[in-house]
């Protein structure tokens, strides 16, 4: 155990505990987007910056020159942590990070499926309530992309909303081990090209974005993969082509544009020629903190405040994974993973998440049926009569 102070409050935690978790033990919640308790630290979003002072070899406690990400720094003996609650430096750093995140983020809250349960929305409102800047200083044109892009028949991507926290990428690598989604164009300044690889306009550039994983990038080349793929509409692509641009053209992380008649951004295969395939892809919808990844089934169907939630257990797997069923007016609209550390943690399969339309079909049996002894036809009865009939048949 190590002893440290957080906002002047002493706390003892196990050595190696992340500062963001240690703060929770004393009731201080540090804002975060990329952090997830079941994923490895990454410090991508920089929203959890805090002031850190720690003892040197001479035992004198000295502050670090810049705020540090609390989601990636571990607790050490004698540390002194100042969060946004007591430090103007930490509060200003977090407000600045939020301002940068909102520069290109669209004002989609009234129509976004994440609205009402969105960490970005909630934390932006909290910052405004604390006296932070409420009006943007950005006067240029926001970056936009065609949307939505259909990663699968169930998962849609709105790149306008993405804040590049990489939760989805880290989940794919760390939990199921299926690298089905990746960050492409890293470093920014990547050339924008059309379907034939020609520049869309002189000097056309775009910044990094989320897209499909391509095994031929970063030496993940699969020698058994097909050399090319055909995107719907007849466009042939080489697996080595890098064609992703603001127009939604196929690129290193996958083909992201459809052919004529498919609508904007609809495609079934990536540039390697293999379809986007994972039994657990729906989990990236639930852990996305900003509504960049949404469910095609739930899109524009309801607001969170309209739903009635019930804890349940999935019927599709033998382990009995915990789920949450959200209904509106008696109709099931979505299923989310429940939290059961002993069974499924916070993850469920795509079948558990999406295979629920049967529950709202009008021809479902809602009362027990027993067979009439005279006519041989099934007739409705009460539960008590049905159980008595079953008990007699089992004697």
Q: Worst-scoring range by mean pLDDT, 246-255, 265-274, 385-394?
A: 246-255
**Cβ-based neighbours of 265, under 8 Å, separated by 6 or more:** 146, 147, 148, 149, 150, 157, 248, 256, 257, 258
* CATH 3.30.70.20 in the chain, residue ranges: 105-135+142-191+205-218+274-291
Q: Worst-scoring range by mean pLDDT, 1-5, 134-138, 252-256, 350-354?
A: 252-256
Average pLDDT of the residues in 48-73: 94
pLDDT in tens, 290-301: 999 999 999 999
pLDDT score of 73 more than 60: yes
Percentage of the chain modeled with pLDDT above 70: 78
Q: pTM (2 decimals)?
A: 0.77
Q: Please give the Cα distance from 379 to 392 (Å, whole number).
A: 17
User: What residue spans of the chain are helical by DSSP H?
Assistant: 19-25, 88-103, 119-129, 167-174, 283-287, 350-354, 383-394
pLDDT in tens, 112-146: 999 999 999 999 998 888 877 778 888 888 888 88
What class has domain 301-360?
Answer: mainly beta
Give CA separation, 283 vs 44, 268, 351, in Å: 20, 19, 11
Average pLDDT of the residues in 174-196: 68
Average pLDDT of the residues in 209-220: 57
* CATH 3.10.20.740 in the chain, residue ranges: 2-96
* CATH 2.20.25.90 in the chain, residue ranges: 301-360
Three-state SS for 386? helix
Indicate the CATH number for domain 2-96: 3.10.20.740
CB distance 12 to 2 below 8 Å: yes
pLDDT score of 268 more than 90: no
The per-residue pLDDT for 121 is 94
Indicate the CATH number for domain 105-135+142-191+205-218+274-291: 3.30.70.20
235, HSE (Cβ side, Cα atoms, 13 Å): 25
Confidence bin at 220 (pLDDT 50/70/90):
very low
The per-residue pLDDT for 111 is 92
């Amino acid at each position: 155990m190590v002893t440290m102070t957080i906002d002047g409050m002493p706390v003892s935690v196990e050595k190696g505990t992340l500062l963001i978790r240690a703060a929770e033990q004393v009731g201080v919640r540090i804002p975060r987007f990329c952090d997830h308790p079941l994923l490895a630290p990454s410090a991508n979003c920089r929203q959890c910056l805090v002031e850190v002072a720690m003892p040197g070899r001479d035992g004198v406690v000295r502050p670090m020159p810049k705020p540090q990400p609390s989601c990636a720094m571990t607790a050490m003996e004698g540390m002194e942590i100042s969060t946004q609650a007591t430090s103007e430096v930490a509060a200003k750093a977090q407000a600045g990070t939020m301002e940068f995140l909102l520069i290109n983020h669209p004002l989609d809250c009234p129509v976004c499926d994440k609205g009402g349960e969105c960490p970005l929305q909630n934390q932006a409102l909290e910052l405004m309530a604390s006296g932070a800047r409420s009006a943007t200083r950005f006067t240029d044109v926001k970056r936009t992309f065609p949307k939505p892009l259909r990663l699968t028949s169930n998962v849609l991507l709105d790149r306008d909303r993405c804040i590049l926290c990489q939760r989805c990428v880290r989940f794919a690598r760390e939990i199921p081990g299926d690298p089905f989604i990746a960050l492409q164009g890293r470093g920014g300044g990547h050339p924008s090209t059309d379907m034939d690889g020609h520049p869309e306009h002189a000097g056309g550039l775009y910044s990094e974005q989320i897209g499909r994983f391509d095994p031929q990038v970063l030496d993940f080349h699969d020698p058994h993969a097909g050399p090319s793929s055909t995107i719907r509409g007849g466009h042939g692509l080489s697996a080595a082509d890098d064609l992703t641009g603001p127009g939604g053209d196929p690129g290193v992380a996958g083909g992201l544009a459809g052919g004529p008649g498919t609508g904007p951004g609809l495609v079934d295969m990536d540039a390697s020629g293999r379809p986007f395939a994972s039994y657990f892809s729906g989990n990236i919808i639930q852990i996305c903190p900003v509504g960049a990844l949404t469910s095609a089934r739930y899109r524009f169907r309801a607001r969170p405040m309209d739903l009635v939630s019930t804890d349940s257990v999935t019927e599709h797997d033998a382990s009995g994974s915990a789920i949450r069923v959200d209904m509106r007016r008696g109709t099931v609209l979505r299923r989310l993973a429940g939290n059961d550390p002993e069974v499924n943690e916070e993850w469920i399969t795509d079948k558990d998440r999406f295979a629920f339309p049967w529950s709202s079909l009008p021809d479902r049996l809602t009362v027990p049926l027993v067979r009439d002894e005279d006519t041989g036809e099934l007739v409705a009865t009460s539960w008590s009569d049905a159980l008595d009939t079953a008990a007699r048949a089992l004697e």
